[in-house]
């Protein structure tokens, strides 16, 4: 065998891990606040023991789902790097995902502060360049700082806590109207 070549078992383990993360992500898009390990195992097509081999506890699985979602965000940002106007859609999708993935948000709250802060910083870092490009092109108000993006997420979380999903969705629309500017700078895009 060549050095570094993967055995079939290792590929199976990677496939199982991916299936578990995908199943957990799908379940966290549901309306239920409880995402049970047996249901994740069933959807992933693995046994519960396989879940625990990859993720020793719910916090480890939650961290993997968050990392998966952040990777999706990073891919979207990379795919739209030359489109400053896409920042509005990016921000809207981020905030709508926060509402849709309510179980994930609740699980993230249980993570230690350092881990939550690390994920928040990764999100802000990912969004900083598109924010700056959108500001330079005249699509976003100039005084919006990268750290304000975390504040926007906190504001949406507050609405979700005190109202229903439709009110939270409405608050996203209102927020975007306050953050994004209708007319771009001529020739900027």
Check which CATH number belongs to the domain holding 11 and give it: 1.10.10
Q: Is residue 82 assigned to a domain?
A: yes
Give the 3-state secondary structure of the chain: CCCCCCCHHHHHHHHHHHHHHHHHHHHCCCCCCCCCHHHHHHHHCCCHHHHHHHCCCHHHHHHHHHHHHHHHHHHHHHHCCCCCCHHHHHHHHHHHHHHHCHHHHHHHCCCCHHHHHHHHHHHHHHHHHHHHHHHHCCCECCCCCHHHHHHHHHHHHHHHHHCCHHHHHHHHHHHHHHHECCCCCCCCC
Average pLDDT over residues 47-59: 93
pLDDT band, residue 105 (cuts 50/70/90): confident
What is the per-residue pLDDT across 129-142, written as a single tens digit (0 to 9) for each? 999 999 999 999 99
What pLDDT, on the 0 to 100 scale, is given for residue 15? 94
Report how many domains make up the chain.
2
Domain interval for residue 52: 7-56
The CATH number of whichever domain residue 122 belongs to comes to 1.10.357.10
Instruction: Choose the most confident range, by mean pLDDT, from 5-9, 52-56, 104-108, 158-162.
Output: 52-56
């Amino acid at each position: 065998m060549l050095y570094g070549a993967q055995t079939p078992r290792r590929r199976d383990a990677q496939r199982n891990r991916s299936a578990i993360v995908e199943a957990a992500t799908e379940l966290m898009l549901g309306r239920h606040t409880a995402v049970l390990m047996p249901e994740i195992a069933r959807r992933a097509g693995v046994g519960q023991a396989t879940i625990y081999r990859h993720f020793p506890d719910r916090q480890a699985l939650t961290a993997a789902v968050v990392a998966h979602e952040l990777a999706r965000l990073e891919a979207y940002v990379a795919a739209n790097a030359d489109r400053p106007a896409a920042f509005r859609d990016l921000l809207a999708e981020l905030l709508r995902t926060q509402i849709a993935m309510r179980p994930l948000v609740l699980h993230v709250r249980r993570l230690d502060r350092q881990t939550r802060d690390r994920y928040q910083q990764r999100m802000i870092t990912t969004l900083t360049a598109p924010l700056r490009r959108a500001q330079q092109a005249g699509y976003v108000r100039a005084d919006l700082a990268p750290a304000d993006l975390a504040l926007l997420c906190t504001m949406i979380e507050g609405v979700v806590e005190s109202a229903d999903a439709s009110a939270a969705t409405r608050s996203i629309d209102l927020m975007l109207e306050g953050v994004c500017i209708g007319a771009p700078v001529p020739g900027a895009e």
